[in-house]
Amino acid sequence: MVLIAHGSRDPRHAATVDGLVALVRAARPSLEVATAYLDHCAPRIPQVTGRLDGRAAVAVPLLLGRAFHAKSDIPAALRAAGADLPVADVLGPSPLLLDALDRRLAEAGPAVASAAERARTGVVLAAAGSSDPAANAATLAVAELWRRTRGWAAVRTAHASAVPPHVPDAVAALRATPGVERVAVAPYLLAPGLLPDRITAAAAACGADLTADVLGAAPEIATLLLHRYDHAAAAARTPTALSA
């Protein structure tokens, strides 16, 4: 597995990626896992793919959705490195992500672990936001699935980037929603950094009742990475099996 992360100048980002890699290795000790970064951190994609020496590998993006990094940056970086690797799908959407979101909120406020309290709680799903409308629409779909399947009173999306709506807008909308007695903010982001810090600060400034941590080095994410790897590896083997 070549795990491709975005990278960040914030050292907490790489520490989170290292934590996820440790969970993946613990879950499947026989699998070799290497990390490559698009930006800011080392090693970069050419350094990692150049060490494969012809061994079969699958590139697995450590990304929640199919925005610009997934659609353009990773394929371009692999082409530039001369690496003809199968590329797994992004992490979202998946029930495992909802499990991780639920757990992070329960860690922030144990009361929301009960069905009765979830039915009185509105949640802001706070994502990075994208200039790609399809990526933002995918986040909306995750929010609706989370509300419908996990019993929250309401779930609204917000973005940490320049793309509206923002956290205060979503919190205000939930405060005005009938049946919502508590408002929680759940960052839909994998690692700490500038955007999660912005979400946390905005949530505190507008009076959210509780704010969860980022998804981070969660066992659900490690399991999902292995699912994406397995699916891509099986798909890459299919043409050979059919032609034999």
Structure tokens at 62: 């450590």
Judge if 2-90+218-243 and 95-211 fold alike in CATH terms: yes
Give, for all 244 residues of the chain, the pLDDT tens digit: 999 999 999 999 999 999 999 999 999 999 999 999 999 999 999 999 999 988 899 999 999 998 888 888 999 999 999 999 999 999 999 999 999 999 999 999 999 999 999 999 999 999 999 989 999 999 999 999 999 999 999 999 999 998 999 999 999 999 999 999 999 999 999 999 999 999 999 999 999 999 999 999 999 999 999 999 999 999 998 865 443 3
Longest dimension (CA), the chain: 62
Q: Distance (Å, rounded) from C-alpha 158 to C-alpha 126?
A: 5
Q: Distance (Å, rounded) from C-alpha 167 to C-alpha 205?
A: 10
State the CATH architecture for 2-90+218-243: 3-Layer(aba) Sandwich (3.40)
Domain limits, the chain? 2-90+218-243, 95-211
Query: What are the DSSP E strand ranges found in 160-236?
Result: 182-187, 210-211
Quote the pLDDT of residue 242: 40
102 SS3 class = helix
Quote the pLDDT of residue 239: 61
Quote the pLDDT of residue 238: 81
CATH code of the domain occupying 95-211: 3.40.50.1400
